Chains A and B, each alone.
Chain A
C-alpha cells in the first residue's frame, strides 16, 4: 500500500475544479525545476518542467509557474479529474548535471 503519503499536506478539490499545488524551493541558484506525480505503489512520473529563464510553461491541462523572487513554484491542474488523485512532488536542480533535490510532496485528493 501507499505509506509515503502519511503525514503529507493534503489538498482536497471537487472534480472539475482547478487545483493549485505550491512548492517553496531552497536554492536561488537552481536552474531547472520539475513536477512529478506519484500514484500508490508506483514510481514518480514526470508531469512538466521549467527552466529558470522562464516564469510560465503550459502542458496539457497543467501549468507550472515559477517566481524566482520568492523562490516559489506552483503546479496548476485544470478541470481536475479523479485520476489526478496522487502525491505531487516538486524538485529543483542546483546546476548542470547535479542530481535533483526533492520536496516532501503534497497529496491531492479529488472528490467526485
Chain B
C-alpha cells in the first residue's frame, strides 16, 4: 500500500454524529486525496491536498471537510454523518517530482451510518 495507512478500517456510527477518518503516509509525498467508492459510481473525489494547509474540493465535497496540519496526515471529517455517506473511503498519495504521476491508494475505510 505504498506506505499508506487508514484508520479506522471499519466504523459504524449513527446519523448526526461527527466522524473523522485519518490517512497517514510515510513517504513524504506532497499530494493526498480522499475518494469515496459506491456501487455504480466508481471512485469519486471528495477533497485533496497539495501541501500542508493547502486543500481543494473535489466533485462530491458537500458534507465533508478536511485538514492537513502536517505532511504525513490528511484528515477527513463528516461534521454530521448522514446515511448517504455510508461508503468505502480511500485515501491516495502522489509525489510531485518528475515522473511522479501515479496515485497510490490505501486499504480503505468502510463507514456505515445508521
Interface residues of A (CB under 8 A from B): 3-7, 32, 34, 36, 41-46, 49, 51, 89, 91, 93, 97, 99-105
Q: How far is the CB of B22 from chain A (nearest CB, A)?
A: 15
Asked if B19 is at the interface (CB within 8 A of a chain A CB), the reply is no
Q: A43-B1, A104-B41, A104-B42 are in contact. Are A93 and B104 (CB under 8 A)?
A: no
A105 and B41 alpha carbons, distance in the complex (Å): 9
Best-surrounded residue of A7, A93, A102 (most CB of chain B within 10 A): A102
Asked if B105 is at the interface (CB within 8 A of a chain A CB), the reply is yes
Q: A99-B33, A99-B48 are in contact. Are A44 and B101 (CB under 8 A)?
A: no
Instruction: Please give me the residue from chain B that is nearest to A42 by CB atom.
Output: B107
Q: How far is the CB of A54 from chain B (nearest CB, A)?
A: 13
Asked if B45 is at the interface (CB within 8 A of a chain A CB), the reply is yes
How many A-B residue pairs have C-beta atoms within 8 angstroms? Tell me.
60
Asked if B96 is at the interface (CB within 8 A of a chain A CB), the reply is yes
A4 and B40 alpha carbons, distance in the complex (Å): 7
Which B residues, 47 to 98, have Cβ-Cβ distances below 8 Å to chain A?
Answer: 48, 50, 58, 88, 90, 94, 96
Instruction: Please give me the residue from chain A that is nearest to B100 by CB atom.
Output: A97
A70 and B50 alpha carbons, distance in the complex (Å): 32
- Give the residue of A5, A44, A103, A104 whose beta carbon is less than 8 angstroms from that of B90: A44
Instruction: Please give me the residue from chain A that is nearest to B101 by CB atom.
Output: A32
